[in-house]
A and B are shown apart, each in its own frame.
Chain A
């Protein structure tokens, strides 16, 4: 592990005010510390933010929630309001990682975890995220669990978070504090598609810190679900997932929120599918057709075309489940 300095901060202003070049924030450390051991992350300074007062879940007027960036995944999943009003979020969290990891991992850190692309986690191989221009061996090599949407010739990585997929479906907003002040970014716009700068995972600028995530009120999110398909029953990243909330009346879709996981470098909000579903019949056929509308843009590689079928089927079965919920 590269030698680093360690400093702990207790207020947000000093955390972002004195954030040196080559520094990284340390929250739960469940991803960062692994990457430091592997030599993928080599910060000069770790700024420990675990003592910042960001551990609360506040109820907002009108029914939304403000989730502190330091709230642990376990605590968020177990929160009574999350479980009753946003079950998709609770389910997504509980489908991620293991009990021990969820006890450490934070809301902000979960959003910023890095891809599990097997070339990215190995410094003996080329990767445009390590070193722009070094190449992407995944396109010809192992990409069974990499992107089918929004990828570029430079990078086909996927974002591994389950939680972020639920937050994307719920129109959540990320609250950010930085050296230049505060700003808000929708979760759907936090992560970048790779384009020709795959080394940049997100739109965060140097020294910016996620302080909270706001989930706006959405009455019909009480009827929501997260369905994750994976290669074993637990403790595995998704090979495809769907977050959905559905409002049905008399067999007709009044409104819907839909997002896909493990298909792109960001949680993939399925706006086209949502559009196709609104005011249509709540049947398996129309659910499949809506999924197809979203997946027309899919560009699978040699070994991941199954994801198109998988996501299509997951959309149908998840929405069917919500119709009868």
Chain B
């Protein structure tokens, strides 16, 4: 390998597109000036289950599309993309018609008042732990076995001198990136151009091509700037298909930007989870049995099974283990990826249960974890490529000021505030996916890197610039990265915290190939190298610490301090990394204290479907959120030695806060979010 002087990688370089974003010059999907564009508005089903018999007409519109008149499209793997093809209604909020008009206001109004003839049927929208429709799916996301067993869990648990058997619940959580899903679609002859907000331009191009019977190269997807996604833009969503279909019908470019309210049902959400955790331990805290089960939901239309308990397979040593998943198909929207699917809800259950075990043992919760540190992957036996969990626990405790903490709750009070601290572990797999990159030297000696990746606000564009600069021995100002376009070399999805590792590998390869060949252009495809990799035993780790105060009269919870200590390989850019860590920790705070899709079973709807009622943390909730990391070297990952950092901050941070609330109040709230009504009802 070429030896490289890393002058750019590791530097806190600001986002390259930052000035364009804050000055409003960066163009997002719905903002492209397109001549003769018209506007579409989705008519969403007002019932959870039934048959659509007919849709009326509306004055002042260009088209009203529904299954009775919509063009036929090809079926693809994702049945949610078969829009306006069937009379069946699978959930409330499903797209059942589309109105197109020359103004946004006219389209919206027509969609509100258009007549719908629907045969409504009784529906089932409520997930319960004993739902008769429970079944074990064949795999959980993306392809894990749903059940794992090692040793004899039942016998070991029954024999354990100390046990914890608790149920934790997390509610439906909804993807609300700042930029809702949006598409402008236009047909140029038989070629389709989409300005679309997504996490994977080549994937969206391929899927839209399939839907409309076109080869992928006849579909051009542009996503230069994307205002977040959290996974909900990882694949083409119905908005892209609807916009393209409407553009074909009216013969003009069509803009379809989802309103915030539609984000709750149309783009994929995090399933509610009903978890049961059983821990068996010796009196010294040595775990002998770990059991973790989850009941979750999916829609009638598509099976998505969140891998909630898979994370428990990697965390702690114990000879006897059992993890499982059960699914219930309901008349509800299809759940999908939301930042750290699996790990985020799963670590609520596991890490809160560990805190309850520490309480029973009268043992420091950090010490309990250290005593159960595995030497290798607890289930597969594969060695870890690197694991510095204990180092994160110890260093994090030191920096947070954990020493001297009382084991018992409700001992600190300042005025009306009850004060407590809590902690929880964090982990996320270090994944990598095949990608292709191209690099060219331009006549002025600068470099142009091209890769069809999507920078969803993470800083990917900046990091790839840094990587290429070092590999080519150029200053970052002489490197230009082009991305966000499906016509560029094929990149993997911006998901699974794998972007930097995957695209960085391809970019590194292209730069090295360029230098080796002496030519002024090189292309590198990482597919073969990536496929040869061992995937087990590769994870980032971390520890979260929280200090909270709870108003003794009202039960209001405030997070005084939230701190994350991570070991996540080589940090490529400390500035954008910190932003990812604390952004995810903030989302973790929302999961612990604020976010909840409130289900009305009678209508099959989440009734709080806007940001006034679906609460996420606001600035005033953030008093101190800080992240730090260990300098971790791991040569078994990728040429940069990096692990993904986009999701680990939401894994464990909710549990740290929930555990801190217990430490402050003595109350275990086991159904998230932890809110004042639950604390008051519990007798605060």
**Interface positions of A (Cβ within 8 A of B):** 1-3, 37, 39, 116, 118-119, 121-125, 137, 140-142, 144, 229-237, 239-240, 303-306, 309-310, 313-314, 316-317
Contacts and interface: CB of A to CB of B under 8 A. Distances in A.
Contacts of A309: 680-681
A241 to B, nearest CB: 10
Interface string B358-373: 0000000000000000
A232 B593 contact: yes
Contacts of A229: 551, 554, 556, 676
B603 A144 contact: no
A231 B676 contact: yes
11 contacts: A1-B105, A116-B612, A122-B609, A141-B607, A229-B554, A231-B675, A232-B621, A234-B618, A234-B619, A239-B677, A317-B554
A73 B621 CA distance: 23
B174 interface: no
Given A39-B109, A121-B610, 19 more contacts: A2-B109, A3-B105, A37-B108, A118-B608, A123-B112, A124-B44, A125-B603, A137-B603, A140-B602, A141-B607, A142-B608, A229-B676, A232-B594, A232-B617, A235-B620, A237-B612, A306-B676, A310-B676, A317-B553
Interface of B: 44, 46, 105-106, 108-109, 112-113, 416, 551, 553-556, 558, 593-594, 598, 600-603, 605, 607-610, 612-613, 615, 617-621, 675-677, 680-681
B669 to A, nearest CB: 13
A310 B554 contact: yes
B554 A313 contact: yes
B611 to A, nearest CB: 9
A118 B601 CA distance: 14
B620 A314 contact: no
Instruction: Across the A-B interface, give the 10 residue pairs with the lowest CB-CB distance, nearest first.
Output: A234-B620, A233-B620, A313-B553, A306-B677, A118-B607, A124-B46, A229-B554, A141-B600, A39-B112, A1-B105
A39 B600 CA distance: 21
A1 B109 contact: yes
B112 A233 contact: no
B677 A118 contact: no
A3 B60 CA distance: 11
Contacts of B608: 118, 142
Contacts of B594: 231-232
Contacts of A310: 554-555, 676-677, 680
B600 A230 contact: no
Contacts of B601: 141
Contacts, number: 98
B603 A141 contact: yes
Contacts of B105: 1, 3
Contacts of B106: 3
A144 B607 CA distance: 12
Contacts of B612: 116, 237
A305 B602 contact: no
A235 B594 CA distance: 13
Contact of A314 (B108, B553, B593, B605): B553
A188 B577 CA distance: 54
A239 B112 contact: no
Contact of B598 (A124, A137, A142, A316): A142
Nearest to B60: A3
Contact of A118 (B108, B613, B618): B613
The A interface is mostly helix, strand or loop, or mixed, namely loop
B547 to A, nearest CB: 15
Nearest to B619: A234
Nearest to A234: B620
A237 B44 CA distance: 28
B536 to A, nearest CB: 40
Contacts of A122: 605, 607, 609
Contacts of B598: 118, 142, 144
A231 B615 contact: yes
Contact of A317 (B113, B416, B607): B416
Contacts of A316: 553
Contacts of A230: 556
Contact of B676 (A116, A140, A234, A239): A239
B613 A116 contact: yes
Nearest to A125: B603
A236 B676 CA distance: 14
Given A137-B602, A306-B676, A232 B46 contact: no
Contacts of A304: 677
Given A142-B607, A313-B554, A233 B416 contact: no
A236 B553 contact: no
B101 to A, nearest CB: 12
A240 B112 CA distance: 34
Q: Chain A CB within 10 Å — which of B106, B108, B553, B675 has the most?
A: B553
A187 to B, nearest CB: 25
A140 B599 CA distance: 12
A37 B259 CA distance: 11
A66 B113 CA distance: 43
A306 to B, nearest CB: 4
A234 to B, nearest CB: 4
Nearest to B621: A233
A236 B598 CA distance: 16
A306 B554 CA distance: 10
Contacts of A123: 112
B607 A233 contact: no
A258 to B, nearest CB: 16
A124 B605 CA distance: 11
B453 to A, nearest CB: 34
Nearest to B556: A229
A145 B395 CA distance: 43
A191 to B, nearest CB: 21
Nearest to A2: B109
B618 A235 contact: yes
A229 B113 CA distance: 38
A235 B553 CA distance: 21
Nearest to B93: A124
B626 to A, nearest CB: 18
Contacts of B618: 232-236
A142 B344 CA distance: 26
B439 to A, nearest CB: 45
A144 B602 CA distance: 16
B619 to A, nearest CB: 7
A141 B677 contact: no
Contacts of B617: 232
A234 B553 contact: no
Q: Chain B CB within 10 Å — which of A3, A122, A137, A144 has the most?
A: A122
A210 B613 CA distance: 29
Nearest to A141: B600
Given A116-B612, A232-B621, A306 B600 contact: no
B53 to A, nearest CB: 18
Contacts of B558: 233
Contact of A141 (B602, B619, B680, B681): B602
Contacts of B619: 234
Contacts of B603: 125, 137, 141
A318 to B, nearest CB: 9
A232 B609 CA distance: 17
Contacts of A240: 554
Contacts of B680: 306, 309-310, 313
A144 B46 CA distance: 23
A124 B594 CA distance: 26
A141 B600 CA distance: 6
A304 B676 CA distance: 11
Contact of B600 (A3, A142, A235, A239): A142
Contacts of B620: 232-235
Contacts of B109: 1-3, 39
A37 B603 CA distance: 22
Contacts of B46: 124
A11 B613 CA distance: 37
Contacts of A144: 598, 677
B553 A119 contact: no
